[in-house]
Amino acid sequence: MNKSIMQRFIVLAAISVFLISCENDKVDYGFDKYYEEIVTAMEKNVFLLDDGKKILNTKENEKLIFQSGDRVLINYTLLPETKSGYDQVVRLNGASKIPQGKLKLTDGKDIESSIKAPVHLESVWLGSHYLNLQMYINRKSEAHTIGLLADSTQLSNDTLRIYFEHNPNNDLVGFPVHFFLSFDLENVLGKPGNKKNIAVHINTDNYETKIYKFKY
């Protein structure tokens, strides 16, 4: 084996040993596991997850004060301790209130004429009786009108079609703003679990008009 081949072999062998070592060594970098999700505030330091679990925050933070019923995006770490009356005990790393709305019943003409400007959609999901969305809108200075509409004459249909309304109100092109939204469907659909089919229509700039189907 000539010298150049031998050198390449030694380098490759060294890299292989390094990679195997990295795969086998379990290095603790000091980071806690954390979770992020949208929950409902119940009282100070108590939150209800959308799956029905009640969690207690053990970290006092006077800046994080929410009203009962607020929808809140929380970042938390699970703790090994337990406390009677709670499913989980957590340490809250951060939290912020998110905008909350309700499904509005109207007629077909209003839905047809409503402005449905596209949004940059990241995700949409159903949690308990809430429809949650994560998105970007392009905004400069004007407040945008956002809503969730359904035709009141179509409630008895097998599938209720719901439309996402977005009116920029002549706002100028600005910069992308990222945010979450949470819409309460219970005022129209009642408690979840009745297996009602819903189809949510959202005009997006990354997927065109997208229809998301859920069983409520």
Give the DSSP H or E segment for 121.
strand 120-127
- The pLDDT confidence band at residue 96, using thresholds 50, 70 and 90, is very high
Mean pLDDT of the 100-112 span: 97
Percentage of the chain surpassing pLDDT 90? 77
Count how many residues are written for the chain: 216
Contact 146, 115 (CB under 8 A): no
- In a shared domain, residues 140 and 201: yes
- In a shared domain, residues 93 and 121: no
- The pLDDT confidence band at residue 12, using thresholds 50, 70 and 90, is very low
- In a shared domain, residues 170 and 142: yes
- Would you say residue 120 lies in a domain? yes
Closest CA to 135 of 189, 212, 42: 212
- pLDDT, one tens digit per residue, over 172-186 is 999 999 999 999 999
Last residue of a domain, one of 97, 115, 143: 97
Of 25 and 176, more confident: 176
Per-position DSSP letters for 124-165, written without gaps between them? EEEETTEEEEEEEEEESSSPPEEEEEEEGGGTTSSEEEEEEE
The pLDDT of residue 140 is 95
Of 56 and 4, more confident: 56
State yes or no: pLDDT of 123 exceeds 50: yes
- Would you say residue 23 lies in a domain? no
Give me the domain span that covers residue 64.
35-97
Question: What CATH number does the domain containing 89 carry?
Answer: 2.40.50.500
User: Up-side HSE of residue 185: CA atoms within 13 Å toward CB?
Assistant: 28
* φ, ψ of residue 58 in degrees (nearest 5): -95, -10
Question: What CATH number does the domain containing 207 carry?
Answer: 2.60.40.2370
Task: List the structure tokens of 76.
Answer: 């938390």
Mean pLDDT of the 85-104 span: 96
Q: What type of residue is 173?
A: V
Rounded (to 5) percent helix, strand, coil in the chain? 15, 50, 35
State yes or no: pLDDT of 29 exceeds 70: no
How many domains, in total, are found in the chain?
2
- In a shared domain, residues 109 and 177: yes
